[in-house]
Each structure stands twice: as structure tokens, then as C-alpha cells.
Chain A
Amino acid sequence: MKINFTLNSQNVSIEIEPNLRLLDLLRDRFNLTGTKEGCSIGECGACTVIMNSKAVNSCLILAGQCNGAEIITIEGMESDGKLHPLQENFLKSGAIQCGFCTPGMIMSAYALLIEKKNPTDEEIKEAIAGNLCRCTGYKQIIDAVSQSAKEIKINT
């Protein structure tokens, strides 16, 4: 089957098998390997991408469901060579260790910031509760998201 959708602000069109997962479509067909596979059952959140402004586990979404959708992956976060405030603040806060959860974590945080301008720490924790991180203990990630929300508010 053929699907058309928006991928990181580009219109794309591709022939796919009906049982293809969105995760495999991104990694294998578009070579967007920033989206990671950790558990394949929607528990770890490493494969999180944005689908129509919501964070989704791309291992649980069929590629066919993306027809007409808008998909954003970690590769779409940097614009004109400039990092998104979330990316900047992950760097500054020390929110990264092994980095395997980082893309998914940033996408979940991005979905939160689309929805809420002033998230509380509790709302940030809730937004990333589906993204497992074994390295950081989450603290510096929460700081990074909180700081990003403040900066985005000032700049918009």
C-alpha cells in the first residue's frame, strides 16, 4: 500500500507492507535511526515520536496509520542548524548519559510543551513517565524540560 504523510516538515510518499511498524518505517526506510527500539511492547518509550502533536510509541503504531499524519522525529528538532531549547538544555543540565533514551525523552517532553506552556514538575514527570531511563535517575532531565519551558515562554 502507498501512504503519504509529513515527516519532519517534508511531504513524503512511500510504498509499504501493511504490517510494517512506524518504527521500522523510520529506521529502515528513511534511515532515521535516532528513534530507538528498546522493548518492542510500548513500555520503554525509546521509540517515541510525535504523531499529530501527540507523543506515541512508534513500535505500537502501524506505518499505515500514518497516512495523512504529521510525524516529527528527533532528527526534525534541530532547525537551520540551531538546536531546539530542549536539546540545548539537555546538554546544559547534564541530562544525558548513555543517551539511548534521550531522543524518545526529548520527543515526550516536546509533546508536553506543545500542550502546556507552564508545566509543573509533576506534569513533567507524568509526561516522561513512559520513557524509561536507567542512567540518569531523571532529575537532570526534569530540570532540562522545566528550563526549556521557561525559555520557550519568554521567546514566544
Chain B
Amino acid sequence: MKKQQLHNNFNVVGKPAIRQDGYSKVTGKAKYADDYRFDGELYGVMIRTKASHALIKKIDYSELNENRFIKAIITADDIPGSKKVGPIKQDQPIFCADKIVTPGDVVAMLVGEDVKELRKLTELVKIDLEELPVLDDPQKALENDSILIHPDFKTNLITHYPLRKGNVEKGFKQCDEIIEQTYTTQLIEHAYIEPECVTAIPGEGNLKVKIIGSIQNPFTTRKVVASVLGYGLNEVEIIQAELGGSFGGKDDTMNILSARAAIAALKLNRPVKIKYEREESIIESYKRHPYILKYKVGFNKDGKLKAMKIDLLADGGAYSSMSSFVTWRSVVQATGPYEIKNVHTDVRVVYTNNPYTGAMRGFGSPQPIFAIESLMDEIAVKVSKTPFEIRKLNGFKQGSLTASGQKLTGHEVTLHKVLKKAVEVSSFDSKWNDYKKASGKKEGAKQSYINDSLILNKNDFINPDQFWRKGIGLALSYRGCSLGAEGIDAAASYVSIQPDGTVYLLSGLAENGQGMKTTFSIIAAEIFGISPDKIVYLEQNTSRIPDSGPTVASRATLMGGGATKNACEELKKRLIKLLVTIWKLKSGKDLVFVNNEIILRSKKSKRIEFGELIKQAYQQGINLATVGWYAGPKVHWEEETGHGSAYFTYVYGCQVAEVTVNIGTGEVYVNNIWAVHDAGKVINILGAEGQVYGGLTQGAGYALWEKISTHNGKIRENNFDQFLIPTSKDIDAIHPYFIEGKEKYGAWGGKSLGEPTLELTAAAIANAICIATGQRFYNLPINIEEMLLRRKLYPESLTRGSTS
């Protein structure tokens, strides 16, 4: 495929650049958390129970008395500060003392030198439990007589977000057509390839403890560890090791593991490492929320949407974690990018004994997007329009009002641009017509849905080749950038030019593999007119840079990019001022920083090397280091009505999926996905394309294969032999396209891409499958069983595969 060329006036921005961390990663020299070794280090191994919900009557460690392999048994009694933590509600214990609420719960940690022996010894701990009834169905969580997961809260409701706009009942009365539909999405695991690992090292002097680990949000970890230990933030230092994937997943879990390691390290005055095996990683770490999504939509014969009633229920599992933020994004975006006068949305998230759910790439958007984009195609069928036409008719334009009443202005609303581009590059309309006809359905744009089974009769001979069908589907979204009204939104970036003209760079955000270090280096290189390889990005350490909030919500490029640009421009201002004096200019407006030189545009012979200018600046005593700061503008939200300016800017995306389905066997092959995204200015082109390829692949896994299933709260799929993520053979071709919509925020308008790429793919694939089979599937993942039986199959026994 011919690569898309981005046209711009930049020298470095938008051009391929080698990753900052590339050399160390291709040579095996990059140090991930488990690659650090410390003299005298000990290991921590967790003690769990077999229960999903139980009172702890007694824990008997007597068989471990005098055991030579054990240096300490750490329990809740060893915690000097907060015994429970959590980003919103402090409901999650570091160690459970009196109650188990989910199978991932940990009651104690054995610490010693030999990790293999410690693992064996966990069997010798006798835990006397009084089992309680298990609540594993979120639909029963709010019933009056439901058992309570956290009785102190007197309800299993974690959060309820209402949103009211217009009058939805009146709206339905004025409609020609109404469709009501229920969709479900599944629990899934982040499946970062590196399992959790952290080491806590006793500090020296005033620094009480140093922590190095696979940590997504070092400042959040610092806050949790400091609170658990009862220390000041400046007494705890968090260093981010090279991070082997996160996707939102190495936050809460890592904060708790870091606290456990720190408690033990300080008690024993030795470094303590915790390294999870894959099975315990999957059992204990949080996951993506499963949703039950009920939609009722009213529209006119021409397809114009009039009223929408939405009821979403998310399973938060045993702990609240980020649930209240995840579901807030859902309430903002539940209608999709469509203008609707009357909207009535309720989003609830509840406690159950299931594995807890929290942040995962997409963060409350992949679920409603699957529902609303399926629904839009159903509406199109009813009114004899194409998927393109129905979205073109209802999609947001410049100045449209969102469901929360926010007017979309101040940035370019490119929804129709991305839609048009995606339809063009994929030849959507003609393929859609052809495939629909081939799947044997009625004429024109009208399509009926058969609800009988695809299963063959017993005597039918199955020749799979006669059942191949092609399908094509699209999905469209808008997405609020960064944290929005969730919280304070600001970031820092430190830039320091050395006497020889080389540069140090460090931002308060974290490199999670996405390529942020490279993106920020490109920004600095562009402003100084130097090559990105003149920049060394420093180690991520909470003692060296201001707290910049978490690296989440696809906010790094927007917020950290803005901070980096501000820092570099401040230093550039100082350099220009100096050069104006040296060259006796009236102003610096004709000075250009390019190709390692500063050139006077009006008189090209007047030039100075960047390094030479820096040398002179040092001789003059000019400060060439600064911390840049970038704060987002104010946004607001009214909790009772769901009104407000949820996010200060948005991005838009459209994806088209082309699939081949065998309607006899239920196999689905993803042949092509075209992804058109407006992420604002594309700064790091290789990184941006990588986000598209990776995000779509995760989205395809969500659509077709990935599922964590539970039985009485216990996870069945606890390693990669059972939890299937896409391999190199599962997706054929991905075609990324970027539309650079005008934007005033961030570095030259560089916005968000990581999550937008993922959130659309399952919806596009589901719509494509519908065209291929003539049947609509309402429950993710659309795996073989779903396709053939319209239900999921589960193993009878929990002991299979790698489960021991």
C-alpha cells in the first residue's frame, strides 16, 4: 500500500524518527522491572483463598513457624497507614483482614530468598473461612434483598450518572419508528505481555523508600505507597522501569503491589521484589467492564433521530477502582456522534464478587460504540438507507450540540470528513451493495434479519467452501480528549540544553510503550531546529519532575506535548533575545532555527550553529533549563442532569471492516480494516501508525475472540492458552489514514489517538458480519459459538489447560 504523505511545513514533525528507546529494546538491553537485581533482595509471594465471598474466621500460619525459607509473613497488621486504597473510594484492602470479596484477594505475603520454595509453602497456610453467598450477576446487584459486597456503603451501587435532554417520552410520540434493542459486551483482560513486577528498596537519608517497577502511573503509585506507609510524598520515590505493555492495566494493581513490597522492604530493611506469574496476574488484576446496554431509539421515516433512551449497566466487580470515571465517559458518549433532541440516559455501575474492573484502553467507550453503531445500521435498514447515509444525516457538524448540551466549537469538527474519506478509500457503498445481495437478502437497501439458527440439520453434508460470505461494515465515533471533567488536567515537561547544544528532556507523563518519549523529542527537535537524536530522554522518576497526573485518556501527546512545546519555546525565546543583541537586530522575528543552525531569513549569509549559540549563552550566564507547564481549560459537569462541557476538545474517527465469514462453521476472517482518524496534528508518524495497527488489532480481538468468563466469580481463562489474543495470522491488512483537523490546543494541535483507534473496531466488524450473514449479533465476542448457537459455551470444569 502506498503510504499516505502528510503535507506540512515542518522539518521533523510528521516525519519518521527512530524511537528514543529503540536501540535498547532491539538489543535486549532495555531494563524491565524483572531485569533489575539488587544485593540481598527478597521475594514476596501472595496467599489467596479459594473463595469468592467469605468471612475470614482465622488464619493459621503455625506450620510455617521456624521455617528457614521464611523471613517474614506480611499481613494487614504490618500496615502503618491506610489499610484500604482506591482512586475514588478507598474500598480495596492492601491485605484482606476480615473478608474476601473476590478470588483475586490477598490475605498475606510470604517473604524469603527462594521464590520457588515460598510458592510451595503457600499451601501450608490454613485459612478458616465462612463462605457467603456469591453475587455474580450485576443485574441482581441493585435488588432490595441483594447481598452487599461492601455493607458499609449500604448499597452495591458504585455510581449512577443520569443525563436528561429535552423530553424523551414526547420525542418518542412524535416518531414514525421505534427500535428497542439490548446488547452485551464481555469482560476482557489487558493482556500486556509483561506480567506485573516491582521491587521496593529501603531508602537512604530522608528518602524512606525507593520503588522500581512496571508502573503505568508513577505519581499515582507514589500517592498510594505514601498513604499506606504514612509518609510524605517526598519520602517515597517511584522509578518507572521500561514498561512491557499496560493499556490502562498497570495502575491500581501496581499501586497495591508496590505498597506490599514497600511494607516488607521496610520491615526487613532489604530490597523486596514481587513478580507475578501470568496466572496470578490474570486472577488479581482488574479488567475491562462488561456492559449490558439497553437502547430505545425513535426516528422519522427519513432516518432523522428524534429521541433516545439509554440504560447502561456495568459490572464493577468487587472494587470501585476507576469505575466512576470509566462510566462517566460512557454517559457523555452513549448517543454516539449524533444530534438527538431528546435524550434520557442512565449509566450505573455496581459491585459484584466478580473480578474488579477499571481502566482499559477505550475506557467506557468500546461498549456503547458497539451498541450505538449496531443500532445505526438497524435504523438504516428500517428506513432503506445505507450505513453511510444514515450517519451523514445525523452526524455532528461544526456547532452541533452534544447530548450533554455542549456546543462543538473551538476545534474543527471533522466527523463528516473522516466518514467520507473512510467510505471512499474502502469503496464502501459498492461493496456493501454487492455483499448484501450475495448474502441472499432482499432487494435495495432494505435488509431483513433472519433469527433462525445457522446450524445445519443432522443429515446435511457440510462442505464449508460453499458457505463463505463477504461482509463490510463501518463505525463512526467522536471522543473527548484527555480527562475532561473527571479532574484537574495539567502536565509538566523539563527541558535543559547542555553547553554543547545537546538536550535533556523529561516529562511528568510516562512512557508505556506508546512512543511518548519519541513524540516529545520530535517536538523539542522541531523547535530548536536540531535532530531528535541530539535529545536524551531522562529516566522517569517522581523525584525529578512535577506530578503531571496519570498517563491515561490518550492525553500524553496533547498535554505533555503542550508542556514540552511551552518549555522549548521559553528557552528559544531566551536564545532569540541573546542573538538579537549579538547581531544587533531590531527583533527576532526573522530568525529561523533549522538544520542545527539559526539563520536570519532576510540575510541568509547570517547564520550561527546551534551549539555555538548555546556556548555563547552559557558564557553570558543565561539559564537554559526550564519546566514547561500546560494546563487544560476549565470544563464542567452537572451530576444531576448530565449537562456540561464534558471535554475541552474532541477527536473523530471512522473505521470500515471487510470480513469473510463461513456461515457453516462460524469462522470470521478480517481481510481489511480502513481506519480514518483525526488526531489533530500528527507529530510522530511511525508511532501514530503503530497506534492504529495495534489499536485495531486489540479491537478485533475484542470483537471476535477475547473473553474472560467467570464461574461464581472465579476466572476460567487464566493464561494465553485459553485467553486468546490476536496473533500475526489473524488480521490481514490495516490501512491507516490521518485527517489533520484544525485545533488550537496541544503542540500544533496534536491530540489523541491511542484509544480512538481501538474503540471503533468491534462495532465495524460486527456490522460487517451482519452484512455477510444477514444476521445481527448483539453479544460480544462474536466467536464461533455465538455465530452458530447464539450463546457462549463454557467448560464444565475449572481445571483444564494450565489451571492447576
> Residues of A at under 8 Å CB distance from B?
31-41, 43-44, 46, 73-75, 77-78, 83, 87, 90-94, 96-103, 106, 124-126, 128-142
Tell me, yes or no, whether B35 is within 8 Å of chain A by CB.
yes
Number of interface residues of B (CB under 8 A): 58
Interface flags, B611-647, vs A, CB<8A=1, else 0:
0000000000000000000000000000000000000
Are A136 and B725 in touch, CB under 8 angstroms? no
Q: What residues of chain B lie closer than 8 Å to A126, measured between beta carbons?
A: 729
The residues of A that contact B37 with a CB separation of less than 8 Å are 31
Chain B 714-729: CB-based contact to A (< 8 A → 1; otherwise 0): 0000011100011111
- Chain B positions within 8 Å of A132 at CB level: 191, 193, 720, 725, 727
Bound Cα distance from A33 to B734, whole angstroms: 33
Q: Which listed residue (B22, B35, B278, B697) contacts A38, Cβ 8 A?
A: B278
In the bound complex, how far is the Cα of B27 from the Cα of A90, in angstroms? 11
| Contacting residues of chain B (212-270) with chain A, CB-CB under 8 angstroms | 242-247
Partner of A96, one of B26, B719, B728: B26
| A94→B28 contact, CB < 8 A | no
Contact of A43 among B25, B30, B720 (CB under 8 A): B720
Contact across chains for A74 and B27 when beta carbons are under 8 A apart: yes
B501, CB-defined interface residue at 8 Å: no
Q: Are B690 and A83 in contact (CB under 8 A)?
A: no
Question: Cα distance A91–B533 when bound, in Å?
Answer: 13
Q: List the A residue with the shortest CB-CB distance to B247.
A: A134
Contacts of B34 in A (CB 8 A): 33, 37
Alpha-carbon distance between A126 and B278 when the two chains are bound, in angstroms: 24
B19, B28, B513, B514: the one contacting A91 at CB < 8 Å is B19
Any A CB within 8 A of the CB of B277 = yes
Asked if A43 and B721 make an inter-chain contact with CB atoms under 8 angstroms apart, the answer reads yes
Q: Interface readout for B20-53 with A: 1 if CB under 8 Å, 0 if not?
A: 0111111111111011010000000000000000
Q: CA separation between A96 and B689, bound complex, in Å?
A: 12
Q: Using Cβ atoms and an 8 Å threshold, which residues of chain B touch A74?
A: 26-28
Interface string of B724-743 (1 = CB under 8 A from A): 01111101001000000000
Check A100 against B26 for contact (C-beta < 8 Å). Answer: no
**B277 and chain A: residue at smallest CB distance:** A40
Query: Per-residue CB proximity of B516-530 to A under 8 Å, as 1/0?
Result: 000000000000000
Q: Is the CB of A46 within 8 A of B193?
A: yes
Cα separation A32 to B505 with both chains bound (whole Å): 29
Which residues of B have CB within 8 Å of A38? 193-195, 244, 278, 720
Q: Which residues of B contact A136 (CB under 8 A)?
A: 690, 693-694, 697
Contact of A125 with B278 at beta-carbon distance under 8 Å, contacts A38-B193, A38-B194, A92-B16 already known: no
Asked whether B693 lies within 8 Å of A100 as measured between CB atoms, the reply is no
> Is A129 a contact of B27 with CB atoms below 8 Å?
no
A33 to B30, CA, bound (A): 9
Residue B784 is within 8 A (CB to CB) of chain A in the complex: no
- With both beta carbons as reference points, the residue of chain B lying nearest to A19 in the complex is identified as B116
Chain B residues with CB under 8 Å of A99's CB are: 21, 24-26, 30, 242, 244, 513
B686 within 8 A of A: yes
Picked from B32, B247, B694, the residue with its CB within 8 Å of the CB of A36 is B32
- Within 670-720 of B, Cβ neighbours of A (below 8 Å) are at 686-687, 689-690, 692-698, 719-720
Q: Which of A40, A78, A142 contacts B278 (CB 8 A)?
A: A40
Please determine whether B27 and A41 come into contact, CB atoms closer than 8 angstroms.
no
CB of B669 closer than 8 Å to a CB of A: no
Closest beta carbon of chain A to B51's beta carbon, Å:
25
Report the Cα distance A83→B242, complex, angstroms.
Answer: 21
Chain B nearest CB: distance from A115 CB in Å?
Answer: 17
Report the minimum CB–CB distance from B516 to chain A (whole Å).
Answer: 11
The 9 closest A-B pairs by CB, nearest first: A34-B28, A98-B513, A100-B244, A94-B686, A137-B693, A99-B25, A137-B697, A74-B28, A43-B720
Which chain A residue lies CB-closest to B249?
A134
A125:B728 contact, CB within 8 angstroms: yes
What DSSP secondary structure best describes chain B's contact surface?
A: loop
**Chain A residue at minimal CB-CB distance from B35:** A33
Residue in A closest to B733 when the chains form the complex, CB atoms: A139
Residues of A within 8 A of B693 (CB): 136-140
* Complex partner residue of B193 from A40, A44, A92, A142, CB under 8 angstroms: A44
Q: A100-B193, A132-B720, A135-B690 are in contact. Are A90 and B26 (CB under 8 A)?
A: yes
B802 at the A/B interface (Cβ < 8 Å)? Answer: yes
Kindly list 19 other residue pairs between chains A and B, CB separation below 8 angstroms, not including A91-B23, A132-B727. Answer: A33-B31, A33-B32, A38-B193, A38-B195, A38-B278, A44-B278, A96-B25, A100-B513, A101-B193, A128-B728, A129-B728, A129-B729, A134-B698, A135-B514, A137-B690, A137-B692, A137-B731, A140-B689, A140-B693
Give CA–CA (A140, B16) in the complex, Å: 13
Asked if B698 contacts A94 (CB within 8 A), the reply is no
> Within the assembled complex, what's the spacing in Å between the Cα atoms of A132 and B195?
13
**Would B512 and A98 count as touching, CB distance under 8 A?**
yes
> For the complex, is B192 an interface residue (Cβ under 8 Å from A)?
yes
CB contacts (< 8 Å) of A91 on chain B: these are: 18-19, 22-23, 26
Q: Which of B151-196 contact A (CB under 8 A)?
A: 190-195
B278 touches A138 (CB 8 A): no
User: How far apart sit A73 and B30, CA to CA, in the bound complex (Å)?
Assistant: 14
- A/B interface sample: 6 pairs, CB < 8 A: A43-B721, A97-B515, A98-B242, A99-B24, A132-B193, A135-B245
Which residues of A have CB within 8 Å of B23? 83, 91
Known: A33-B28, A43-B721. A140 touches B729 (CB 8 A): no
Decide if A98 touches B28 in the complex (CB within 8 Å).
Answer: no
B663 to chain A, nearest CB (A): 25
- Complex Cα–Cα for A124 and B23 (A): 23
How far, in whole Å, are A66 and B29 apart by their CA atoms in the complex?
24
Known interface pairs A38-B195, A43-B719, A100-B194; A138-B22 also in contact (CB < 8 Å)? no
Distance A136 CA – B441 CA, assembled complex (angstroms): 38
Chain B residues lying within 8 Å of A102, measured Cβ to Cβ, are 25-26
Q: Enumerate chain B residues within 8 angstroms of A142, measured Cβ to Cβ.
A: 728
* Residue pair B694, A39 in contact (C-beta under 8 Å): no
**Assembled-state Cα–Cα distance A93/B689 (Å):** 10
Verify A34–B694 contact, CB threshold 8 A: no
Q: Is the CB–CB distance between A134 and B193 below 8 Å?
A: yes
Residues of A within 8 A of B25 (CB): 96, 99, 102
| Closest chain B CB from A149 CB (angstroms) | 15
The reply to whether B22 and A135 form a contact with Cβ atoms under 8 Å apart is no
- Chain B residues closer than 8 Å to A131, beta-carbon distance: 728
Inter-chain contacts of A36 with B (CB < 8 A): 32, 193-194, 244
A-contact bits for B285-312, CB 8 A (1 contact / 0 none)? 0000000000000000000000000000
A129/B727 in contact, CB under 8 A: yes
Contacts of A41 in B (CB 8 A): 278, 719-721, 802
- By beta carbon, the residue of chain A nearest B686 is A94
- CB pair A100–B245 under 8 Å, yes or no, is yes
Given that A32-B28, A74-B27, A87-B27 are known contacts, is A134 also in contact with B192, CB under 8 Å in the complex?
Answer: yes
Q: How far is the CB of A78 from chain B (nearest CB, A)?
A: 6
Task: Write the B51-69 contact mask toward A (1 if CB under 8 angstroms, else 0).
Answer: 0000000000000000000
In the complex the two chains form, is B720's CB within 8 Å of A135's CB?
no
Do A73 and B689 touch (CB < 8 A)? Answer: no
On whether A98 and B194 interact (CB within 8 A), knowing A33-B31, A141-B728, the answer reads yes
- Bound-complex Cα distance A73 to B28 (A): 9
Which residues on B sit within 8 Å (CB–CB) of A137? 690, 692-698, 726, 731, 734
Q: How far is the CA of A70 from the CA of B728 in the complex (A)?
A: 28
Chain B residue contacts of A103, Cβ below 8 A: 28
A77's nearest neighbour on chain B, judged by CB, is B27
Q: How far is the CB of A63 from chain B (nearest CB, A)?
A: 15
Contact of A138 with B195 in the complex, beta carbons under 8 Å? no
- CB-based contact B29/A34 at 8 Å: yes
Closest B residue to A35 by beta carbon equals B28
Measured in the bound complex, the distance between the Cα atoms of B29 and A83 in whole Å is: 13
Given contacts A73-B28, A98-B243, A132-B193, contact A139 B514 (CB under 8 A): no
Closest to A99 in B: B25
- The docked-state distance in angstroms from the alpha carbon of A100 to that of B247 is 14
Given the known A-B contacts A41-B719, A97-B513, are A134 and B28 also in contact in the complex, defined by CB atoms under 8 Å?
Answer: no
CA distance A6 to B19 in the complex (A): 32
